[in-house]
Structure 1
Amino acid sequence: MSAILFDFFGTLVSYSPSRVDQGYPRCHRFLREHGSALSYGDFLAGLDACFASFDARSDIDDREFSMGEVASAFLRQASVGGDVAEFERLYLAEWSAGVAVPAGLKPLLTELRQDHRLAVVSNTHSSAMVPDLLIGAGIADLFDAVVLSVDVGWRKPHPAVYATALAALGVTAGEAIFVGDSYAADFAGPDAAGITAFLIDPRKTADVPAERRIDSVFDLLSRNRISG
């Protein structure tokens, strides 16, 4: 194998899958400063409902949406003026505060990079957030490509995402492996595209071959097919 495609959230970094469990005091303050009387709880509930409406549309055909679209729709529903881009920036900054990079990730990627081209392939609503997090973690230069659903226009498991990643690395499906923690997006999708997939599934909840199940990204080096 000459290339490894990594999911980002839940694979290379830990995060809270909830979009509203993080604290968002600056976002709420933005609303209040622009005329909103929403309580903090009502603000979170309204934002969550707005995200859910966009997700429901994406679930139909895997079309991706941007955080800017959500921010614009939410502010409009809340009858709040102000700079949509600024609200988006505040939200992404506060959500990103819950992202953590595991110890030892950079040495792992550095070793894997000796024999493989590496790419991040992530579902995300922002073109800037994942690249900024990679820079902040000091690992951006270890990747040959960063492929984001918001830029492709489709989210995993749409085949266009994997095709874009393979093209960015200049490899065929048979020359790549995919590593991630979501069955549909990171195992079934790549598998259907002809890419050998490894699923992070420490609780063994998914119906995948044992040899293609790992406990964490750090198990990659122990797999002969990757390290050999």
Structure 2
Amino acid sequence: MPDIHPTHLLFDFFGTLVHYSESRTEQGYHASHAMLRRFGADLSYTEFLARWAALCADFDRRSDVDDHEFSMVEVGTEFLAATLGTTPARADVEAFVEEYVREWSTGVRYPDGIADLIRGLAGRYRLAVVTNTYHPPLVPGHLAAMGIEDCFDAVIMSVEVGWRKPHPSIYDTALSALGVTAGAAAFVGDTYAADFEGPSRAGMTAFLIDPHNIHRVPAKHRLGSVFDLPYAVRSDN
């Protein structure tokens, strides 16, 4: 692994800059269900959640084959078509997806001090977010709500690239967007394959948030949380 002298820091988003729940059912989706009923679907709330979760899991399985990414609009279109028995209007799909994503986002939490951390780092490095996500407005919306959207030179999202981490294309896209070589970039995230192994293969220095020492990574590249990053980078500069 290269020495750590980065000019650019690339961050995973979910699990790194924010806490979140991966569940597609536990957050509560009563408004989404009510909208579905208005569209004419005759599903109970429990049936709705079960069918939606099963379809999302099926999309995930398809993506796992080659790391291609899908969008919530694709999932919403297939779900409404199957549920309503007809091709849904694009406006209905978009309205349903926006409501579902809004309810899903109630499970996202901003760590105390995260905005101050990012602003401090932005004074020393150029920053970017490189994240897997199914819905283009989701991450920029959270960055705006956190008050740190102006700290990032780029927000690279799998749904726009077409490939999710750890596919090489998403790292190449990020480095190209920033106009920087891999050796000048450090990546930090909480998922081994996506945020450590993939960036390392791309030539970047990588830091893994791994407070319980689950993965075999060099000690100086293991973080207890994202708040350890400034010290980890500084220690090798």
2:170 maps to amino acid: V
d(CA) in 1 for partners of 2:191, 2:38: 39
Code of the residue aligned with 1:115 in structure 2: it is R
Q: Secondary structure at the match of 2:13?
A: coil
Q: Please give the residue correspondences for 1:37-76 in structure 2 after superposition, counting only pairs within 5 Å.
A: 37-76=42-81
- Separation in 2 of the partners of 1:31 and 1:163? 39
Matching of residues 39-188 of structure 1 within 5 Å: 39-79=44-84, 81=88, 83-188=92-197
Call closer, same or farther: CA 1:5–1:226 in 2, change over 3 Å.
farther
Structure 1 residue 193, shift from structure 2 partner: 0.5
Match of 2:38 in 1: 33
Q: CA RMSD in A?
A: 1.3
Partners of 2:95 and 2:199 in 1: CA distance: 36
CA distance in 2, matches of 1:133, 1:107: 15
Residues 62 and 155, structure 1, Cα contact 8 Å, conserved in 2: yes
Residues 224 and 35 of structure 1: CA distance in aligned 2, closer, same or farther (over 3 Å) = closer
Residue number in structure 2 paired with 1:19: 24
Q: Tell me which moved more, 171-180 or 206-215.
A: 206-215
Cα distance change of structure 1 residues 224 and 63 upon mapping to structure 2, 3 Å threshold: closer
The Cα of 1:227 is off from its aligned counterpart by: 8.0
Q: Distance in 1 between matches of 2:226 and 2:185?
A: 16
Report deviation, 1:225: 4.1
Aligned length, in residue pairs: 228
Match of 1:203, SS state, is: coil
Where do 5+ consecutive residues of structure 2 fail to align? 1-5
TM-score (structure 1 length as normaliser):
0.96
The counterpart of 2:215, out of the listed 187, 195, 206, is 206
Moved >6 Å (runs of 4+): none
The residue type paired with residue 53 of structure 1 is D
Match of 2:3 in 1: none
% identity of equivalent residues: 55
Equivalent position amino acid for 2:210 in 1: D
SS in 2 for 1:101: coil
Where does residue 228 of structure 2 map in the other structure? Answer: 219
The code of the aligned residue for 1:168 comes to A
Once the two structures are overlaid, the 10-residue window that deviates more, 72-81 or 183-192, is 72-81
- Tell me if structure 2 keeps the 8 A contact 1:220–1:227: no
- 3-state SS, counterpart of residue 99 of structure 2: helix
Distance 1:89 1:5 in 2: 27
SS in 1 for 2:84: coil
- The amino acid across from 2:185 in the alignment is A
In structure 2, the residue matched to 1:196 is 205
Question: Using the alignment, how far apart are the partners of 1:85 and 1:190 within structure 2?
Answer: 33
